[in-house]
A = this chain, B = another copy of it.
Amino acid sequence: MPIRPSRHQRDLRQSLSQDLRRTTEGQRLARAQMREHLRDHLDELRTRARRGGTQEVVWDRLARATPRTQREVARIVDAAIEVADRDGLDGLSMRRLASSLGTGTTSLYRYVLSKEELLTLMVDAVNAPDLKTAPSGDWRATFTTLARDHRRQLLAHPWLVAEIASRPAIGPNTLRAADEILGVAIGMGLDPTTAGSVVATLLRFVRGAAADELAELDATRRTGMTQDQWRETIAPYVRGVIESGRFPSFTSVVMSADPTDDEQFEFGLARLLDGFERLTATGG
């Protein structure tokens, strides 16, 4: 999310007013050029990317593409998500994806610049907390259901957390969601900057939690074990650690009642929202 759109923002804001007029014409020109031969355009993008020059953002290209192309891309992305959900990220190869679509492998490259780009599209397609079911008016309740929804989303697509972590989320879906959440934060009476920080903090916590919860699950899938086999595997080691007596605090925590993932998530979320509450209580 560009909730933290970094320091170049100032420059952007400056150049914004000047460039605002010229943009539409420029876009029309680009569209004409592209329609001429879309195929070569993709190739050109590829070579330019290889040379390390400035590129075009995926979503701009897609927005200008023909409806058929857009549908095709959506179909590819959906299939890719399905494969990744079932077999994990390692199981998602272009050949597998193609065969699951019943097409040739290299045909995919007519619609997608690279696997990298495909992943970017996958992330945006799936990373969109849905606000419409959230209660309105009470920001605390809204944030709570929102955090729960996002967590559910991340757990439903085990590959998602790792991929989100390594690419700036500025896709249209993500943006729409970010806008809605920011609206809630602003509705708390916070100034925009603080609102941005609040939302960023909330999302960071949720993603961190989901990552933790997925770790064990991921390890089992990777090694091909069942959950039980894996536990059996680490049991002697953990036992040894506890026996050693070198980790008293750790031991006492392990030996105490163990909260479920749900409970621990709710605990952390509640603490975080407690922290936010102070902002509205003391500030403006």
Contact = CB atoms under 8 A, between A and B. Distances in A.
Interface of A: 1-10, 12-13, 15-16, 19-20, 23, 49, 52-57, 59-60, 116, 161-162, 164-170, 172, 175-176, 178-180, 182-183, 186, 191-198, 200-201, 203-209, 211-216, 218-219, 222-225, 229, 231-243, 246-250, 252-261, 263-264, 267-268, 270-276, 278-279
Contacts of A235: 12, 15
B12 A229 contact: no
Contact of A250 (B161, B166, B178, B237): B178
Q: Is the interface of A mostly helix, strand, loop or mixed?
A: helix
A201 B247 contact: no
A165 B201 CA distance: 18
The 4 closest A-B pairs by CB, nearest first: A204-B208, A271-B275, A201-B268, A208-B208
A129 to B, nearest CB: 14
Contact of A175 (B59, B250, B271): B250
Given A116-B223, A164-B211, 12 more contacts: A7-B260, A12-B238, A19-B239, A52-B224, A52-B225, A170-B237, A182-B249, A194-B267, A197-B259, A197-B267, A201-B267, A203-B208
